[in-house]
């Protein structure tokens, strides 16, 4: 299993905040609205921690889909990379994703999944159309607003992007430190996030002392430690064996149950077929399928 230990601290910061500068400010001016469906019946797993996140009844998922303000709204979005001007990576995408949804993004290699994900945290800017996240138009967003957007979006990648010389605790704590959280917040929320992912006993281990699945759990803890309302994942199980992938998937599902909207690009056919969540299929940059309780539906 590939270990990715050569990450610089800038890359790790980028993994947390996306690319770009990270101002050390503590106020959060993000305009995300928490999801509160007021259902108290979901058991908290392992004394979780993201306890302050409002919860969403998974049974209410479908009802949620069409209510409220979309957390993500693509309006005729086209993305053309300058290096490939003749072919749009995303071509006239229009769709809404509502708070509390769990959405799989599927499609063959090169269909546009990563481009879709990278538009969401403003790593990329749409060439045409409008993309609204939490009501804010990312296509018109001023540069100084980007870090505020990014602290509301947790990111999980295939290659973990952990700092090799820092422990699990320090990797997660770093995500809070770079946004100027107090030592008290860091000391309380970091262990909570590691407990959520079941790694409280391995807080002092460095990435090379952890398995691939454990490293991915650290990166998920880092992504959610600031309790973002939106979690975007680009092939989070791409480097993991099926059993380990299942554990990661359950974890993402639990985070979603706690109210976090999850958008996940994946090639993991079994996972998509067993979860029966919303599936958006891309082909050549276009949406070819959007199903509420979908299946993978591709040959690979
Ligand atoms: N930086 C870039 N410059 C030019 N073209 C790019 C760039 N990044 C991606 N593309 C092109 O955009 C299209 C979509 O790529 P993207 O990475 O979004 O696909 P993907 O669905 O994530 O693929 P994979 O499953 O292999 O990760 C492809 O045709 C790809 O070659
Ligand atoms: Mg990709």
What is the model's pTM? 0.83
Residue 83 CB–ligand 1 contact under 6 Å? yes
Which pLDDT score is estimated for 215? 97
Which pLDDT score is estimated for 24? 28
Distance from residue 225's CA to the centre of ligand 1 (Å): 29
Do the domain assignments include residue 143? yes
pLDDT digits (tens, 9 = 90+) for 49-79: 333 333 445 555 555 556 788 999 999 999 9
> Into how many domains does the chain fold?
1
Do the domain assignments include residue 200? no
Which pLDDT score is estimated for 173? 98
Task: Provide the residue range defining the domain that includes 286.
Answer: 30-41+50-165+228-291
Residue 119 CB–ligand 1 contact under 6 Å? no
Which pLDDT score is estimated for 170? 98
Residue 41 CB–ligand 1 contact under 6 Å? no
For a mutational test of ligand 1's pocket, the pick from 19, 88, 104, 114, i.e. the residue with the most ligand atoms closer than 8 A to its C-beta, is 114
Do the domain assignments include residue 212? no
- CA dihedral (196, 200, 206, 210) positive or negative: negative
Which CATH number covers residue 70? 3.40.50.300
Tell which residue, 151, 275, 168, has the closest CA to residue 216: 168
Do the domain assignments include residue 213? no
Which pLDDT score is estimated for 135? 86
Do the domain assignments include residue 238? yes
For a mutational test of ligand 1's pocket, the pick from 115, 126, 233, i.e. the residue with the most ligand atoms closer than 8 A to its C-beta, is 115
Do the domain assignments include residue 77? yes
- Ranges of residues in the chain with a pLDDT under 50 are 1-7, 18-56
Which pLDDT score is estimated for 300? 62
Which pLDDT score is estimated for 157? 94
Do the domain assignments include residue 111? yes
Half-sphere exposure of 154 (CA within 13 A, CB side): 29
Which pLDDT score is estimated for 272? 96
For a mutational test of ligand 1's pocket, the pick from 88, 113, 269, 284, i.e. the residue with the most ligand atoms closer than 8 A to its C-beta, is 113
CA 117 distance to own-chain centroid:
9
Which pLDDT score is estimated for 68? 81
């Amino acid at each position: 299993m590939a270990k990715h230990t050569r990450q610089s601290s800038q890359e790790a910061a980028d993994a947390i905040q996306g690319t770009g500068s990270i101002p050390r400010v503590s106020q959060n001016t993000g305009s995300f609205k928490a999801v509160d469906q007021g259902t108290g019946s979901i058991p908290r797993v392992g004394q979780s921690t993201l306890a302050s996140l409002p919860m969403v009844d998974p049974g209410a998922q479908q009802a949620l889909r069409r209510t409220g303000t979309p957390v993500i709204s693509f309006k005729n979005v086209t993305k053309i990379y300058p290096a490939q001007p003749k072919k749009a990576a995303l071509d006239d995408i229009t769709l809404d994703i509502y708070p509390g949804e769990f959405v799989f993004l599927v499609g063959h290699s090169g269909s546009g999944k990563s481009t879709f994900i990278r538009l969401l945290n403003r790593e990329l800017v749409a060439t045409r159309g409008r993309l609204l996240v939490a009501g804010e138009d990312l296509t018109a967003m001023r540069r100084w607003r980007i870090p505020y957007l990014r602290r509301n979006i947790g990111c999980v990648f295939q290659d973990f992007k952990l700092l090799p010389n820092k422990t699990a605790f320090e990797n997660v704590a770093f995500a809070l430190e770079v946004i100027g959280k107090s030592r008290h917040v860091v000391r309380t929320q970091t262990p909570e996030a590691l407990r959520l992912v079941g790694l409280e006993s391995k807080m002092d281990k460095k990435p090379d002392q952890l398995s691939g699945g454990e490293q991915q759990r650290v990166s998920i803890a880092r992504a959610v430690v600031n309790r973002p309302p939106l979690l975007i994942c680009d092939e989070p199980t791409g480097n993991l064996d099926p059993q380990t992938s299942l554990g990661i998937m359950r974890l993402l599902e639990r985070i979603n149950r706690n109210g976090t909207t999850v958008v996940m690009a994946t090639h993991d056919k079994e996972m998509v077929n067993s979860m029966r969540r919303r599936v958006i299929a891309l082909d050549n940059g276009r949406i070819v399928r959007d199903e509420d309780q979908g299946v993978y539906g591709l040959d690979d």
